Amino acid sequence: MIYKQTIKDSRDKNNTLYGIGRKDSMHGKQPDEGGYAVWVRRGNYSGSAKGGIAYTWRKVKGDLGYVEAVKLMNKRLKRKEFVEELPK
């Protein structure tokens, strides 16, 4: 599950979208229990899709702790978008 409020644009020439998600079995549990992943949206050619490009979400890295996922997300976005500490 990718959290909609964490989807951000990397502001590069490709306008790549990144998001933080979590395993469905871990949803609703405390952040310090882990289970987070960073996702990227990629486009592939598809003859049946409108405009010829079909977009899918692909996992960059999974099975991370909350702080590790936020650090990787900030690194991919090339800016400090999220605070790198556990929420209180």
pLDDT in tens, 9-29: 999 888 899 999 999 999 889
pTM: 0.89
pLDDT in tens, 31-87: 999 999 999 999 999 999 988 999 999 999 999 999 999 999 999 999 999 999 988
Give dist(CA 12, CA 40) in Å, integer: 13
Query: Alpha-carbon torsion 8, 75, 24, 49, what sign?
Result: positive
18 alpha carbon, distance to own chain's centre? 4
